[in-house]
Amino acid sequence: MSTNVPSERQSGDLPEIAVLFFDGQGGARSGKLEQLVPPSTDCREPGFSWVHLHRENSSAQEWLQKCNLDSFVVDALSAEETRPRCTVHGSGAILILRGVNLNPGAEPEDMISTRLWIEEKRVIGVWIRPLKAVRDLFDAIESNRAPVSPGDLVAKLALRLADRAEPTIASLNERIDVLEESLLEDDVNASKDTLADIRRTAITIRRYMFPQRDALTTFEIEDLPWLTDRDRSRIREAADRVTRLGEELDSIRDRAQVIHDQIIDKRSETMNRRMFVLSVVTAIFLPLGLLTGLLGINVGGIPGTGNPWAFLIVCGLLLFLGSAQLWLFKRLGMMR
C-alpha cells in the first residue's frame, strides 16, 4: 500500500497535527482528526491509528479533551515537566521518552520529551518541541516501513532515539580522547572549561538514559495482552541499546574525572617543584644574608675596616659558604 504521511517538514519540523492509520502489514495512510473514533474492545480489524499532536495547538488541545481519555492520561500527556517513565492505566500504558535536542542552536543535553498513550488500537502522542527521531520515524513510514503494531511503533521510536543519541555520545568520547592525548604530551593547560562541559553534558544525558531504560523495560514486561512476543523482543532490544548508551556515558564521566584528577596532580607537582626551588634558594641565601647584615651594621669593631683586601676576602668567604651549602644539599639528596 502506498504511504501518504504528513510531510510539513521545512527545516525538519513536525506537523502540529499528524494522523496516521496503519494496516498492520507495513503500510500506512494519513488522515484527519475527524476520522478518529474511540477504539472498541470488540474490534478485530487489523491495524491501529497514531495521532501525534503539538500540545500548544488549540485544535489538538480541544481534541484531547474530547477523545474519551481519562483525565489522568490527559494530564500526563500535557504535563509541563516530565521524566522517562511507564505507567499502566487500565488497558493502556503511558510511556514518556526523551531524546537529545538536535535543533539548531540548542544544546544536545537539553533533552526533548515525547509522550505516548498506547492502547491496542490507537497511539496518542503529544510533543512540545520537535524531535528529530520522530521525524525519522515519519520518514521510515513514508518509505513503506511502517510499524505493524503499537508495540512495534514504540520499539522503532525508541531505537531511533538511541540512533540520534549515539553521535552526540561518540563526540563526547572523541573530545575526551583529545584531552587524554594532551595530558600524555604533558600539556597541563588542558581546558578546564572543555572538561567541565563534557562532564556536564554526559551527566545530564545520563540522568535521562537509565530512567528511559527502566521505562522501556517496564513496558516490555507489563501484562498487556495486545503486546506480542515480537513486540516485547524489539522493545527489549531498544532497552539494551539505551543501557549501552548509559554505560558509555558512565565511562565518559569516569574518564573526565580521571583527567580532572590528573590535571590537578600535574599542577600540584609543578607548584611543589617551584616551591622547592624557592625553598633551596632561600636556604642558601639566608645565612649569606645574615652574614652580610652583620658586616653592614653601622657600629665600631667591624673586622677588616682598615684592610684593602677585606671586601674580596668577604666575597670569597660568601662564595665558599654558598658552594658548601650546595654540596651539602646535593649530598643530602635535596637537589638533583
pLDDT digit string (tens) for the chain, length 336 residues: 344 555 444 334 778 899 999 988 888 888 887 777 665 444 556 789 999 999 998 888 888 888 888 889 999 998 888 899 999 998 899 999 999 998 888 888 889 999 999 999 999 999 999 999 999 999 999 888 899 999 999 999 999 999 999 999 999 999 998 888 877 776 656 677 788 889 999 999 999 999 999 999 999 999 899 999 999 999 999 999 999 999 999 999 999 888 888 888 877 877 887 787 777 777 777 777 777 776 676 666 667 666 677 777 778 877 887 788 777 777 766 655
- The whole-model pTM stands at 0.76
For residue 172, give the nearest of 74, 227, 254 by alpha carbon.
Answer: 254
Output the pLDDT for position 160. Answer: 95
- What pLDDT score was predicted for residue 133? 92
Q: Name the burial class of residue 29, with classes exposed (0-12), middle (13-18) and buried (19+) by CB atoms within 10 angstroms of its CB.
A: middle
Q: What is d(CA 86, CA 94) in angstroms, rounded to the nearest whole number?
A: 6
* Residue-level pLDDT at 4: 53
What are the DSSP E strand ranges found in the chain?
Answer: 17-22, 28-30, 48-54, 85-89, 92-99, 112-118, 122-127
Q: Which residue has the cell 513486540?
A: 231
